[in-house]
Amino acid sequence: MSLQILSPVRKQGEDCVVWQCPFLFKSKEYVIRNSYSLAVEDLLSVDRIDAAVVALLRFAIEKEEDIISEYPISEELYYNLVTLFIPVLCKTNRLRPISLNMPTVQAEASEKRNIVGTGISCGVDSLYTIAKHVNCLCRDHSLTHLMYFSIGAHLTKELDLQREQLAIRFSKEIGLPLIVVKSNLPDLMNEIGGRYDHLSYHTYMMAAVMLGMQKGIRYYYYSSTYKFDHMNLNLQDDCAQYDLLSLSVFSNSGMRFISSGGSIDRLEKVKEISTFPLSYKYLNVCIADIKNDGVCFKCIRTLLELDAVGAIDKYGEVFDIDFYKRNRKYYLYRLYYRSRFANDKFMNELYDCFSREMTPLFKIKAICHLALNRLLGRRKI
């Protein structure tokens, strides 16, 4: 059994341009559809299947399915995949190495390759990358565009649309054009049996849609969740843990993916964005609401981080800081529990910042509070 990629095409939508590529799997035809803002309609790459190969790659590796095609892949991407990426992922995960059977073609030359971009989610990692590159010391590396991705990251369609509007407002205020990118890849992975999990797929999805418009991209910064010294090649875990490998492999001589932020830890990023005024208005981390609710796990972590770096009072426009201050001990209870008993990596990093407050009596109170909440089924901090 194998995945057979057919010819990609470009189609015009009502308010977008669509990169479309059919493929065959188990005698059934499926179609990858990536839509882009009309501003990039001349930049879509339909003479090669790079985007489709990367889009299907994780699924193919996990299911041990070869990928075949009569249509070409960029030679450099092919080399990187078959000599570096596929062997190490398959060996680490004890899977049969898959093969890529398709012709190759030289990297695409394009005089239009002048976009330097990054994604905008308004989270900590995203805002850090923007803050560091909006006016970069190396002029050719300064951002020219922002990208908003609608590719499976949000729990609901409503939240996705609200985050898109937030990205539009942010891009206007910072003065950078916004390219909106949407894809059916998450639904397609579920349809063919991939059980789409955003944490284990997101880097592949981003790279796939960006390779679809590689005629226009010179550099793309992908915000790193983990430091560079952290590497985990387990396919079932967060694929950000091997971004340093993935982004290097998915790059070619004309277009480079660059991992941003992996040289420093999370608290250093928070400290950096606390000097970036737009973050006071746009920092948005909540997994449940377009307004930070202050009680989801990401909000709890971010409030504690802002407190740790002494910047909590700057963020009254995006968080209910009074609520946090009134309930601060409960946030610290959660920090203690998550760092000492749940081995939460990010809470572990925070623990030392508040260790002086973690007295023996405090720890007893924290355990009793959390145990009582669990016993009574109460949803509290």
Question: Pick from 54, 76, 105: which residue ends a domain?
Answer: 105
Other C-beta atoms closer than 10 Å to the C-beta of 352 total: 12
Question: pLDDT averaged over the chain?
Answer: 93
Query: Rounded distance, CA 99 to CA 301, Å?
Result: 42
Partners of residue 150 on adjacent β-strands: 182
| The pLDDT of residue 110 | 67
Higher model confidence: residue 146 or residue 376?
146
Question: Shortest CA distance to 304 belongs to which of 356, 351, 268?
Answer: 351
6, 23 in Cβ contact below 8 A?
A: yes
Question: Pick from 105, 130, 158: which residue ends a domain?
Answer: 105
**Which structural domain, as residue segments, surrounds residue 327?**
288-376
Please report, for the domain that includes residue 256, its CATH number.
Answer: 3.40.50.620
Arithmetic mean of pLDDT, 263-267: 93
171 and 218 both lie in a single domain: yes
Higher model confidence: residue 381 or residue 359?
359
| The pLDDT of residue 153 | 67
Residue 35 within any structural domain of the chain = yes
| The pLDDT of residue 135 | 86
Report the domain count for the chain: 3
Mind listing the pLDDT tens digit for each residue in 55-113?
Answer: 999 999 999 999 999 999 999 999 999 999 999 999 999 999 999 999 999 977 766 78
Arithmetic mean of pLDDT, 117-140: 93
Question: Pick from 62, 83, 105: which residue ends a domain?
Answer: 105
